[in-house]
Chain A
Amino acid sequence: MSRAWHWILPHPFLTLVLAIVWILLQNDLTAGMAVFGLILGILIPRATAIWWPDQPQDFRIGRMARYAIIVLGDIIVANLEVAWIVLTVPNDRLKPAWISVPLDLKEPEAITLLAGTITLTPGTVSADLSEDGHFLLVHVLHTDDPDKVRDDIKSRYERRLMEIFA
């Protein structure tokens, strides 16, 4: 029975997200649209299941919501910081740097989320992953202390992601 469920709904959360996206796309909440969204939400994960070989074992939605709020706040602060750097720091005083962030995360989904977060937040862009997947290459726009940036990323984002994908 549970195997049949798993076959129909390989990714229940994705089903829900697709249904919501469909309703938002229609800009209109009617029963017919909700049902059609659910049908799409069941068909699309089923049809693309081959590209989603496995899913994270544990994914804590509550912690993910808290993480999203923290990241949103950081994005606003990051925007102000980068705007300030653009307007006030002359090019010859700019101190860009490469940093390697050692990763404790193992799941590809978690590393993807971390890389996306880094790109969206304070003056950092994630550029590459080491071949063995243990380091993330990050470019910093302007910093006096690259080691502090690395420790901030680890303590602020990676620690929380470890808890989400615990």
Chain B
Amino acid sequence: MTLADLAMLLTALFLLIGSAFVLIGVAGLLKFDGPMTRLHAPTKVGTIGIGMLLLASMTNAAALGEPSFHEVLIMAFLFVTAPVSANFIAKVNIHRRDCDPPPKPPGARGWATLKPTEDAAGAGDRPAGQDDPDAVAR
């Protein structure tokens, strides 16, 4: 077996593993019934699924004698942006009360997304739809 054959087999293997994970991610999205549980399947399984597809692309490019490193960048950007989009979807779910309301943090005034009014802190009535600029951690 030549090196080119080996590279082709590896490419095929990575493609198969990657698509299997993407498929499972989609299956999870369809199967789970709550908005928050649904969020889990694509955020997790997507990273390794796409990672494997990119690895396949790199292997193939290297085997063709044109090594490519764009894929590393795609992966890096994906890792930076995936948590942000997941966080935004979670915030929307909390805001629209599509999911069980989260428990209040012990001793604190409340979650930044559900900013309680100054006078009614702890009273439980949280005004919805208020603009909430991203809370700064200080």
**Chain A residues within CB distance 8 Å of chain B:** 21, 24-25, 27, 75-76, 78-79, 82-83, 85-87, 91, 94, 96, 98, 100, 102, 106, 108, 111, 115-116, 118-120, 123, 125-135, 137, 139, 141
Find B43's partner among A21, A125, A132 (CB 8 Å cutoff).
A125
Q: A102 to chain B: which residues have CB within 8 Å?
A: 106
**Contact assessment for B108 and A131 in the assembled complex, using a CB-CB cutoff below 8 Å:** yes
Q: Given that A25-B73, A27-B68, A141-B37 are contacting pairs, would A131 and B82 also be in contact in the complex, using a CB cutoff of 8 Å?
A: no
Q: Select the residue from B69, B91, B137 with max chain A CB neighbours within 10 A.
A: B137
Find A86's partner among B27, B43, B72, B82 (CB 8 Å cutoff).
B27
**Contact assessment for B33 and A86 in the assembled complex, using a CB-CB cutoff below 8 Å:** no
Q: Which residue of B lies closest to A78 (CB)?
A: B44
Q: A27 to chain B: which residues have CB within 8 Å?
A: 68-70
The complex places the Cα of A78 from the Cα of B100 at a distance, in Å, of 24
**Contact assessment for B83 and A126 in the assembled complex, using a CB-CB cutoff below 8 Å:** yes
The complex places the Cα of A53 from the Cα of B112 at a distance, in Å, of 22
Find A135's partner among B31, B45, B106 (CB 8 Å cutoff).
B106
The complex places the Cα of A58 from the Cα of B80 at a distance, in Å, of 22
The complex places the Cα of A92 from the Cα of B23 at a distance, in Å, of 22
**Contact assessment for B108 and A135 in the assembled complex, using a CB-CB cutoff below 8 Å:** yes
Q: Which residue of A lies closest to B93 (CB)?
A: A127
**Contact assessment for A108 and B138 in the assembled complex, using a CB-CB cutoff below 8 Å:** yes
Q: B102 to chain A: which residues have CB within 8 Å?
A: 98, 100, 127-128, 137, 139
Q: A79 to chain B: which residues have CB within 8 Å?
A: 21, 44-45, 47-49
Q: B39 to chain A: which residues have CB within 8 Å?
A: 125, 139
Find A127's partner among B41, B91, B109 (CB 8 Å cutoff).
B91
B113 at the interface (CB under 8 A from A): yes
**Contact assessment for B105 and A100 in the assembled complex, using a CB-CB cutoff below 8 Å:** yes
Chain A nearest CB from B112 CB (Å) reads 5
The complex places the Cα of A94 from the Cα of B77 at a distance, in Å, of 32
**Contact assessment for A130 and B108 in the assembled complex, using a CB-CB cutoff below 8 Å:** yes
The complex places the Cα of A129 from the Cα of B108 at a distance, in Å, of 11
- Knowing that A82-B41, A100-B105, A128-B90 are A-B contacts, what are 12 other residue pairs whose CB atoms are under 8 Å apart, sorted by A's residue number? A82-B40, A91-B31, A91-B33, A94-B37, A115-B83, A119-B83, A126-B83, A129-B112, A131-B115, A133-B137, A133-B138, A137-B102
Q: Given that A96-B37, A131-B108 are contacting pairs, would A108 and B90 also be in contact in the complex, using a CB cutoff of 8 Å?
A: no
Find B106's partner among A86, A100, A139 (CB 8 Å cutoff).
A100
The complex places the Cα of A120 from the Cα of B21 at a distance, in Å, of 15
**Contact assessment for B86 and A119 in the assembled complex, using a CB-CB cutoff below 8 Å:** yes
